[in-house]
Amino acid sequence: MARWKDPAPNELVYVIGDIHGCVDKLGALLDVIDDDMARNGTGTLVFVGDYIDRGAHSADVLAFVSQMTASHPDQFIALMGNHERMLLDFLANPTGPAQRWLQHGGLETLASFGLTFAAGRGAAFDGALRDTADALTEVIGASLMTWLSTLPLSWSSGDLWVVHAGADPVVAMEDQRADTLLWGADGFLKSERRDGQWVAFGHRPFDKPLARKGRIACDTGAVYGGPLSAARIAPGGGVRFLSV
C-alpha cells in the first residue's frame, strides 16, 4: 500500500465542491478564498463540476464560472460533472434515456433560464421534450454550449488530481474511463491507490469535508442546506478546508 504523505501540488490549489445553483454560497466562498490568497499568494481554483440542477440559480452559476474561466484561464479551472453531462445528453437526444435529467434537478435548471416543461402524453410528451431541448439550447447560446461540451474531466498538479466523482483505484489516473470520473467507481472509497496519487473529488455529499489516504472529499451538500466547501491544498503544507 502507498505511504500517505501530504499531497504535493506544484502550486497553491483550492478545490471547490459541487455548487448546484447555490450562487450566494459561491460568492461567499470566493470572498473567503480571496482573503486567504491576500495573505498567502495567488492560487489556482478548480471547480469539480455540478454547477447546475436542484438549486435555484444554475444559470447564474454557469454564467459566472464560464466568465471566470474565460477571463483567467490559468487561475480558474472548471471540470465537467455528471449533471452537466446529463444536460448535454438531454439536449442531444431529449426523448431517449437522458430525459431522466428532468427528474434529477433539470426542472430547476430550466426555471433558472426562465423555461418550464409542459408534459403531455404519448406523442405530445415527446414533442414537449423536443421543444424544451430546443428552447434551452437557444437560451443557453452557442458560446456557453461550446464551453459546457468542452469541459475537461480532470486536472492535475504534482501528485494531486481533481476529478468530479472519483477514480478507479487500480487504474492509472491517465487511463481512467470518462464514466468513472463522472459517476465514480465502487472501489474508490474502499481501496487505497498504489501509486501514491491524491484524488480530490465532489459528487458524493459528506457531512464534513475530509482528506484521508489519498482522497479529498469536497462536496458538503450545499444545495441540501450544508455549506459550500473548498479544499485548500498547498505544496508541502497539507490540506485544510474553507466552508461557508
Q: pLDDT (tens digit, 9 = 90+) per residue, 83-94?
A: 999 999 999 999
Q: Would you state the cell numbers that stand for residue 163, as one nine-digit string?
A: 476529478
Q: Would you state the cell numbers that stand for residue 127, as one nine-digit string?
A: 414533442
Give the helix, strand, coil percentages of the chain, each rounded to 5: 40, 15, 45
Q: pLDDT (tens digit, 9 = 90+) per residue, 96-134?
A: 999 999 999 999 999 999 999 977 667 789 999 999 999
What SS3 class is residue 26? Answer: helix
Nearest alpha carbon to residue 76 among 19, 16, 32, 31: 16
Q: What percent of the chain has pLDDT over 90?
A: 93
Q: pLDDT (tens digit, 9 = 90+) per residue, 36-70?
A: 999 999 999 999 999 999 999 999 999 999 999 99
pLDDT band at residue 3 under the 50/70/90 scheme: low
CA torsion 28-160-226-38 (nearest 10°) is -20
**Mean pLDDT, to the nearest integer, of 60-81?**
98
Q: pLDDT (tens digit, 9 = 90+) per residue, 228-243?
A: 999 999 998 799 999 9
Q: What percent of the chain has pLDDT over 70?
A: 98
Mean pLDDT of the residues in the chain: 96
pTM for the predicted model, two decimal places: 0.96
Burial code (b: 16+ CB inside 10 Å, e: under 16) for 92-126 equals eebeeebbebbeebbbbbbbbbebebeeeeeeeee
Rounded to whole angstroms, the Cα distance separating 156 from 163 reads 9
Query: What integer pLDDT is reported at residue 1 of this predicted model?
Result: 43
